[in-house]
């Protein structure tokens, strides 16, 4: 019943391919970071992401990615305030006090690097900073909780415990995922424990994302009926997310989508 994870284990050459794809993706995030400021539109950020990616001979995985109703129309997701994920970049003008997530996925020589980062724009409310901090801390707590051969559910256990301790909730409908030659592949990496996740292990050589979405209010979500993509909090509360692509090495997890320019472990927002 459960898919064997053996086929998903990468050899040394394949691990280097993933390192390369993820490092390109992380450098793209470095390029975009200075543009996240009041007055810039989310469409401008998308255009810069597209230009940088194709000018280096790579491809944005989001552009044309198949959805339930229609393909995703842009090169990255930009999700502001009550948008949990899959926000479509456009005319929205970034404002002081926003929290804004950029989710980037690049295809480099057929391999996918996937990461996201939430930005606190200017002087934001304490609640906006707190939910962003919680999502960031939950990602690192999960990374610190996993070891080769551990259960996938170890991730959801620590994330739910921390989020609830801080009075926040964890989105369940959207999950982390195996990543490699495909954008989304097995195993599914839920951010709350499930029966399936208790039966699956993170073996050395597996590549996957951890990408907790933390809501200030309830965990419930609503998908935009018109655009078929934008996912918002049902109660209108705030939502924040961070994502890294992780390679489980024989010695422990290696974060592939990191450069020295982004928020580092322990960062305070
Ligand atoms: N990057 C998202 C993830 O972390 C998926 C975005 S799919 C898109 O899995 F089509 F909306 F771009
Ligand atoms: Co992503
Ligand atoms: Co992802």
5 has pLDDT over 90 = no
Is the CB–ligand 1 distance for residue 77 below 6 Å?
Answer: yes
End-to-end CA distance of the chain: 43
Give mean pLDDT, residues 119-131. Answer: 98
Tens of pLDDT, residues 190-247: 999 999 999 999 999 999 999 999 999 999 999 999 999 999 999 999 999 999 999 9
Give mean pLDDT, residues 244-259. Answer: 98
Provide the whole-model pTM.
0.97
| Integer Cα distance of 209 and 257 in angstroms | 10
Q: Ligand 1 mean position to 86 CA, how many Å?
A: 6
pLDDT of residue 6: 76
pLDDT band at 7 (very low <50, low <70, confident <90, very high): confident
Report which bound ligand comes closest to the CA of 178: 3
Is the CB–ligand 1 distance for residue 174 below 6 Å?
Answer: no
pLDDT band at 24 (very low <50, low <70, confident <90, very high): very high
Is the CB–ligand 1 distance for residue 154 below 6 Å?
Answer: no
Domain 6-255 top-level CATH class: alpha beta
Phi-psi region of 147 (alpha: psi -120 to 50; beta: other; left: phi over 0): beta
253 has pLDDT over 90 = yes
| Residue minimizing CA distance to atom 12 of ligand 1 | 62
Task: Determine how β-strand 176-178 pairs with β-strand 185-189.
Answer: antiparallel
């Amino acid at each position: 019943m459960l898919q064997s994870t053996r086929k998903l284990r990468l050899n040394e050459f394949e691990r280097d391919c993933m390192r390369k794809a993820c490092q390109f993706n992380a450098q793209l995030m470095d390029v975009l970071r200075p543009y996240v400021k009041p007055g810039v539109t989310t469409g401008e950020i998308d255009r810069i992401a597209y230009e940088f990616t194709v000018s280096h001979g790579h491809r944005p995985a989001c552009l044309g990615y198949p959805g339930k109703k229609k393909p995703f129309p842009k090169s990255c997701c930009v999700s502001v305030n009550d948008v949990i994920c899959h926000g479509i970049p456009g005319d929205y003008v970034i404002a002081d006090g926003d929290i804004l997530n950029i989710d980037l996925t690049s295809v480099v020589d057929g391999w996918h690097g996937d990461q996201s980062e939430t930005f606190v724009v200017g002087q934001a409310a304490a609640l906006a900073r707190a939910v962003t901090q919680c999502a960031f801390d939950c990602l690192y707590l999960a990374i610190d909780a996993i070891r080769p051969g551990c259960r996938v559910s170890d991730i959801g256990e620590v994330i739910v415990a921390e989020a609830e301790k801080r009075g926040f909730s964890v989105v369940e409908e959207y999950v982390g995922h195996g990543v490699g030659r495909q954008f989304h592949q097995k195993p599914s990496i839920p951010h709350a424990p499930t029966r399936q996740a208790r039966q699956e292990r993170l073996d050395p050589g597996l590549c996957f994302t951890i990408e907790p979405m933390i809501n200030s209010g309830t965990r419930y979500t609503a998908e935009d009926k018109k655009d078929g993509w934008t996912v918002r909090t049902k109660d209108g509360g705030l939502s924040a997310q961070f994502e890294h692509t992780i390679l489980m090495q024989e010695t422990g997890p290696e974060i592939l989508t990191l450069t020295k320019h982004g928020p580092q472990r322990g960062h305070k927002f």
